[in-house]
Structure 1
């Protein structure tokens, strides 16, 4: 048996995917993309071939500052050496055995997540591992059905995933309507409105599902006591409180879970995480606490790849680096740097900054966010526009003050370019 030396990894990748080799052009790759990929994502705006830290390089050799982290995924940036070493070591030892068997890494990661969700001697908690956020939410939805109730209350503007169950909880009509009928008995209420939530919840409700901050809806932050009110309302009626922390969790907002930060921390019955947990390696988890931890029994749910030892070691490595390098504090500090700098611009186009930590929305008075994002990409900065009047900024948690400042210095010109183009 032969083993490939680490130094040959790039060469091997180029051999397997020739477009990675030097001289590849964006046009050539995109032609292959159009011919071979189902077109659900439209036409990509760049072809990226390499990443390191907070930067990525495209097929033409242009360097970009990644301020989106692959949609809040690469919390530790690209090609992080500790994560890479952990994954490589685990894969060379044991890669997959199925969930008929246990592995040490799987159990160790479950224990860390249980502790994050508030589990302990006084509150039992258990984990189901999946491969993505939508799969974690599918598991949570199945748990709600085991309460003996079927009704779920979700929020307007919510995004919980694209699989059929998660999609039934996602509010955006253009996502839902092509695939109806969806699993039913879902009621939507205005996000952040505790009175509307209270009016919708009664003894027929199995669960209330909420995002602590709505990411795909434009980084919408609810009132400070909204989640505590949701906790009170669900307890009063015997319903589960399910918090979708797929985008907000794993340090993204300056704490392990956004729901446990600030003056109004909340312990939920169900918490779903993914995205930043694996730093790009697919891993998600549904964490159930209290009586919810025992609602699913043997044979009632499953997964082939979820919780495999490589995914688990990736999650453990990410948690370790966040702790070791003080990245929760860095997320808070850099988020405040961004907020204060954008607000200090005094731009007539900027309406304000929302979010927490390094999940931020720059709200605009005009629907020019897509044009700003395009101008930023041309200038070497990756952001996106979840809404026509909102820019989302979610850089790796490792970003430094100087790296972030380069974008903040460029932002006034990007805004002027977008407004000029729209005029």
Structure 2
């Protein structure tokens, strides 16, 4: 049996089948490129769902990882460590906020945000105990825990995982009037993505984020922005909400590229007024803020800043968008996104996006379908223009009309 098939067989035999990966086995990565176990080279256009914005195995991040791994990896928060303070200082400065709470995975950070806004609602806003409501949006994706799927409108994510966490309301995405109508005296927060990634790179109408910010302020409701996928340069701004004026949220949730893909690091970032609701003993994580993750996180943030990755994403994303829009094909219903976060939606009569992703894999490009009919493109932000030219050529070949 060939090596790739042998590894896939072993994985399928011993792993729960909660993913449907493309049929290849990766063993090495560098920058925008990855290689399979047979030595075939691919352009990574998924970036581990935007976790490797800085490129695979960025030397500065790997150096921070290996150096810290030889010193101290974990203390728990029972003690201080010499890495977390510098990391959080940098993170808060870049986010223009006062305080952060470090966690590990994105879903864990979302759960932390939910706890924070509920506690704020009871202790600051004065909502009656156990009556707090949080508003989410149709098409959202905030993780796979029972609580985060409780807020989902996707039935496949919820089937046979109930009973679910109460206290959530779901409104249409991009509809400011529907949001305002859903707010009650018990509403403590809205939690939203500035662009919905898993839903198919759904970009809201211009002005929607600013309108949402005003609605929240007028109703004493916290605005929480989940920038786990869209943040840290992906959309052409450091944070996606910055594409609009007057849209700064009360709280940011970040993860993925916060470590450049080298280690699980996430955080909730907000004001002292909001995060002071956490007092010793009421919330925590053994690994949250550990020195290894903090060292990696600091290096990852420095790379984003030093290499001007948000600016690169804006310039190269605009360039890629123009190249894609110029492809002569009748198969495409829509091309949308910001920066290097782009979705190509196919007409439903054309068929599912999966075969097109497989065809691109055969041409040396790795991307993944989302919501059945959308090809998601999100290469590392260190990609060069000549590689975008080649990428666009391959996509054009795959999408060309028959006959």
TM > 0.5: yes
Q: Is 2:102 the partner of 1:129?
A: yes
1:9 counterpart residue number: none
- Report how far residue 267 of structure 1 moved: 2.1
Report if the CA contact (8 A) 1:155-1:189 is conserved: yes
1:102 counterpart residue number: 80
2:337 counterpart residue number: 355
> Deviation string for 1:195-240 (max 9, x for gaps)?
0000001221011111000000000000121111111111222111
1:404 counterpart residue number: 388
Q: Is 2:96 the partner of 1:115?
A: no
Q: Is 2:358 the partner of 1:374?
A: yes
Report if the CA contact (8 A) 2:91-2:301 is conserved: no
2:266 counterpart residue number: 284
1:383 counterpart residue number: 367
Structure 1 pair 43–52 and aligned structure 2 pair: CA distance change class (3 A): closer
How far apart, in 1, do the equivalents of 2:87 and 2:205 lie?
A: 32
How far apart, in 1, do the equivalents of 2:61 and 2:54 lie?
A: 9
TM-score norm. by structure 1 comes to 0.89
Q: Is 2:218 the partner of 1:236?
A: yes
- Report how far residue 245 of structure 1 moved: 0.4
Q: Is 2:375 the partner of 1:415?
A: no
- Answer 1 or 2: higher relative contact order, Cα 8 Å, separation at least 6: 2
How far apart, in 1, do the equivalents of 2:220 and 2:25 lie?
A: 50
Of 116, 134, 137, the residue aligned with 1:143 is 116
Segment drifting more, 297-306 vs 163-172: 163-172
Q: Is 2:61 the partner of 1:77?
A: no
Of 33, 41, 50, the residue aligned with 2:11 is 33
1:258 counterpart residue number: 240
TM-score norm. by structure 2 comes to 0.93
How far apart, in 2, do the equivalents of 1:40 and 1:319 lie?
A: 31
- Report how far residue 244 of structure 1 moved: 0.5
Q: Which runs of 5+ in 2 are unaligned?
A: none
Instruction: Report the RMSD for the aligned CA atoms in angstroms.
Output: 1.7
Instruction: Report how many aligned residue pairs link the two structures.
Output: 391
Structure 1 pair 265–248 and aligned structure 2 pair: CA distance change class (3 A): farther
- Report how far residue 179 of structure 1 moved: 0.8
How far apart, in 2, do the equivalents of 1:317 and 1:383 lie?
A: 27
Report if the CA contact (8 A) 2:210-2:246 is conserved: yes
Q: Is 2:377 the partner of 1:393?
A: yes
How far apart, in 1, do the equivalents of 2:336 and 2:82 lie?
A: 40
Segment drifting more, 263-272 vs 311-320: 263-272
- Specify the SS of the correspondent of 1:157: coil
- Specify the SS of the correspondent of 1:178: coil
> Deviation string for 1:149-174 (max 9, x for gaps)?
42111000000000122222222111
Report if the CA contact (8 A) 1:51-1:79 is conserved: yes
How far apart, in 1, do the equivalents of 2:205 and 2:369 lie?
A: 23
- Report how far residue 43 of structure 1 moved: 5.6
How far apart, in 1, do the equivalents of 2:94 and 2:146 lie?
A: 28
Q: Is 2:271 the partner of 1:271?
A: no
2:29 counterpart residue number: 51
> Deviation string for 1:24-73 (max 9, x for gaps)?
71111112112221221146521101111111111121111001101111
1:154 counterpart residue number: 136
- Report how far residue 311 of structure 1 moved: 1.0
1:5 counterpart residue number: none
Report if the CA contact (8 A) 1:53-1:78 is conserved: yes
2:346 counterpart residue number: 364
